[in-house]
Amino acid sequence: MHIPDGFIDLQTSAVFAGLAAAGIATALKGARTQLDEKIAPLAGLTAVFIFAVQMLNFPVVAGTSGHLLGGALAAVLVGPWAATLALTVVLLMQGLLFADGGLTAIGLNIFNMGVLGVWAGYGIFLLLRKLLPKNKSSISLAAALGGLLSVPAAAVGFTIQYAMGATATFSTSAVLSAMVGTHVLIGIGEALITGLTVSAVLASRSDLVYGWKNNNQKLELRSAD
């Protein structure tokens, strides 16, 4: 999912660099209200874990692999604002040190994985958390399904960028169906890793999990009414 230099023209890349910068600025503001010294280390560990697991490409169909994006996972663990920042750190490390993701494409990649993937995953998570029974298994399941859908959402992000500024001339609808089809399959791996990781953290330190704490607080408020 890391876009190399050259796929998308410089004008479109610049537009998305601007959008990514706006997303990061908003996330910095939001994280300041949510991040305290107790949670900050978990945000750091989340970035580290996502970097590590992104190295583990798993096979999907013949000749294709995928890896964790981690947007939904990060959003459930540390909240959507810190999630965007964690993904930004990971993508910068990968682009600058490991030549993974083009330097002119850094805004495109941060937008797709660090903003779109985070918010699509977190949105689905919030919706399902509302619908499912209030327990830890529901949190893990909601996180997994958020993860599942965050991957095709990021793939749609690429397709939009392709439509706006591809250097090639193949039809956008062909790119859209191929991207979404492939990335729904990769999303299954994303769902498994996200669900397992969230349940492991819930089992060991549920007090640190943003998507669980935050839910309990809301329940307390309602019962006080």
Partner 1 sequence: MLTNRRFYIIGFVVSLFFAGVVSFYASSAPDGLEKVAQDIGFIDTARDHTNADKALADYGVKGIDNERASVGVAGIIGVIGTAVVAGISFKLIARKSKKDHN
Instruction: Supply 14's token pair.
Output: 């610049």
**Considering only residues 205-224, where is the footprint of partner 1 by CB under 8 A?**
205, 207-208
What gap in Å lies between CA 213 and CA 222, rounded to an integer?
15
Least gap, CB of 151 to partner 1 (angstroms): 8
35: contact with partner 1 by CB under 8 A: yes
User: Which residues, 81 to 120, sit near partner 1 by CB under 8 A?
Assistant: 82, 85-86, 89-90, 92-94, 96-100, 102-103
Number of chain positions touching partner 1 (CB under 8 A): 71
Nearer to partner 1, 14 or 175 (CB): 175
How far is residue 195's CA from residue 181's CA, in Å, rounded to a whole number?
Answer: 22
How far is residue 69's CA from residue 189's CA, in Å, rounded to a whole number?
A: 10
Residues 188-207 that bind partner 1 (CB under 8 A): 204-205, 207
CA distance 67 to 140: 19
For residue 25, state whether it binds partner 1 (rule: CB under 8 A): no
Q: What whole-number distance in Å separates Cα of residue 6 and Cα of residue 25?
A: 27
Provide the minimum distance between the beta carbon of 127 and partner 1 in the complex, in angstroms, as a whole number. 25
Minimum distance from residue 189 beta carbon to partner 1 (Å): 11
Residue 204 burial (CB count, 10 A): 9
Return d(Cα 66, Cα 166) in angstroms, integer.
23
Q: How far is the CB of 165 from partner 1 (least distance, A)?
A: 11
Residue closer to partner 1, measured from CB, 75 or 155: 155
Q: Does 225 bind partner 1 (CB under 8 A)?
A: no
Residue pair 74/50 in contact (Cβ under 8 Å)? The answer is: yes
CB of 148 to partner 1, least distance (A): 14
Q: Binding segment for partner 1 among 17-25, 116-124, 141-149, 170-178 (CB under 8 A)?
A: 170-178
Interaxial angle between packed helices 117-131 and 136-165, expressed in degrees from 0 to 180 and rounded to the nearest 10 = 150
